[in-house]
Amino acid sequence: MQAPISTPTVHIDLGDRSYPILIAPALLDNPACFASLPAGNTALIVTNVTVGPLYAQRLQVTLLKQYKAVHVVTLPDGEEHKTWQTLNSIFDALLAHACDRKTVLFALGGGVVGDMTGFAAASYMRGVPFVQVPTTLLSQVDSSVGGKTGINHPLGKNMVGAFYQPLLVVCDLDTLKTLPARELSAGLAEVIKYGPIADLVFLDWIEANMDALLQRDVPALAYAIQRSCEIKAWVVGQDERESGLRAILNFGHTFGHAIEAGMGYGKWLHGEAVGCGMVMAAELSRELGLVDTAFVQRLRTLVQRAGLPVIGPRLDADDNAGRYLDLMRVDKKAEGGEIRFVVIDGPSHATLRAAPDALVRRVVDACCA
């Protein structure tokens, strides 16, 4: 019998679909991390061409202590590959290896790998179990937690997918050692967002520890990931399918998704677009009379310190604001063509608000180069 593991754990409370998030170094090589998973003969690791050579074999060796066969499918890397075609390559591998309903999928990589693996798990044989093994900061603090899965459509990000919870999330802090600096900064955008929407004390902590986070100080990263997951767990536990409260987790994402779609997926990293989008959402909050200029400047400074852009790109030479509006009308929070934005309306509190097009145009014009 495997010895129980002792590591910081955050629990997602969803009744019979609850699961733990393990956060510590050296988890990939520890079979005890995976001992609670249901019995089965086969596992499939889904990874990409960047992460696979670094970690796939290590995870495979660990899982072979539990499964008779552990197969690996390697996807191309990048947001631009979050498509039907790439998703189908996961189904090709599952069918080629005659994987059954008890096959467990393991998403080893960042948010793109996690989203597509989860969607494949939700769809294959109408649902097979899967595990998130996120290797980027962004995926450890956000996309691996909460059960959102999916792919992009040329007209909108994450517009095709399903809510499907993993059995387990394993955040091995050692994987962050090989993360490129640009990817680390992108992950910090999702860390920063939790402060304005839920915990100003955490925002203070992020400001005080930004240099340590950028230097990959392990205790600082561990706390940032744990606190981020605690906040997300609290939100998801109350609103799993984003019928209300969970929408606040999209602070900065409406503008950010427009940037990603308008520029072409992969030109800016998701976290870069979200970082800039948070500045734009803060400016919209100010225009609505909900926050003051000092708050906007505070957030802008913090996003910039994280190494993220704070000036939005031009998406159209003739009518830039109009292009943003068109793209944001296909955002999942839009209703009846009316765009709803996550805005800050008080200390550690966010809400959804509609805003007149003229005001949104003013914000876009003020925040773009």
- Rounded to whole angstroms, the Cα distance separating 25 from 218 reads 9
Evaluate whether 190 touches 148 at the Cβ level (below 8 Å). Answer: no
- Give yes or no: 257 in active site: yes
Backbone angles phi and psi of 3, in degrees to 5: -70, 140
Check 81, 82, 148, 300 and give the catalytic one.
148
Check 48, 158, 250, 320 and give the catalytic one.
250
Check 227, 232, 286, 323 and give the catalytic one.
232
- CA 272, 276, 277, 278 torsion: positive or negative? positive
How far is CA 176 from its chain centroid?
Answer: 15
- Give yes or no: 232 in active site: yes
Check 79, 183, 240, 242 and give the catalytic one.
242
Check 81, 227, 246, 286 and give the catalytic one.
246
- Give yes or no: 58 in active site: no
- Give yes or no: 81 in active site: no
- Give yes or no: 250 in active site: yes
- Spell out where the chain has E strands: 9-12, 19-24, 42-48, 69-75, 104-109, 130-134, 148-153, 156-163, 169-172, 340-346, 349-354
- Give yes or no: 126 in active site: yes
How far is CA 270 from its chain centroid?
Answer: 9
Check 183, 190, 272, 283 and give the catalytic one.
190
Check 157, 257, 286, 300 and give the catalytic one.
257
- Give yes or no: 349 in active site: no
Check 81, 270, 286, 323 and give the catalytic one.
270
- Give yes or no: 300 in active site: no
> Which helix or strand (DSSP H or E) is residue 213 part of?
helix 200-214
Backbone angles phi and psi of 37, in degrees to 5: -70, 155
Check 82, 157, 193, 253 and give the catalytic one.
253
- Give yes or no: 246 in active site: yes
Query: Would you please indicate which residues are annotated as catalytic (active-site) residues?
Result: 126, 148, 190, 232, 242, 246, 250, 253, 257, 270
